[in-house]
Amino acid sequence: MDVLYFAWVRERIGIPREAVETQAGTVMDLVEELRGKEERYAAAFADISALRVAVDQQLTDFDASLSGAREVAFFPPMTGG
């Protein structure tokens, strides 16, 4: 599964994207796995209320299923316009 990071999430983790081998059932399960990897992940995911998530380029919630998902992206609230 491709995991993408944008804005300060990307900066904090240090990479824009990575391939992750996971059996995580939901976005939250994936977050828990990532938190356990390294301190910079734990820091980036410390407060998920400050984060947004998209699964296969659709905005969704942290309890969304990852069944069949190919791409998950984490980022701060958007500031377009």
Partner 1 sequence: MRVVVQEAPFDFGVEAAAFAEGRAVSGAVVTFTGIVRDVDGGLQAMEIEHYPGMTESALTDIAAEAKTRWSLEDALVIHRHGRLEVGEMIMMVATAARHRKDAFEAAEFLMDYLKSRAPFWKREVTADGADWVAARDEDEDALTRW
Q: Can you give the binding site for partner 1, defined by CB under 8 A?
A: 4, 6-8, 10, 54, 57-59, 73, 75-81
Q: Are 72 and 65 in contact (CB under 8 A)?
A: no
- Which CB, 10 or 13, lies closer to partner 1? 10
Rounded least distance, CB 69 to partner 1, Å: 14
Rounded least distance, CB 79 to partner 1, Å: 5
- Which CB, 62 or 75, lies closer to partner 1? 75
- Which CB, 32 or 76, lies closer to partner 1? 76
Long-range contacts of 41-48 (CB under 8 A, 24+ apart): 41/13, 43/12, 44/5, 44/9, 44/12, 44/13, 44/74, 45/74
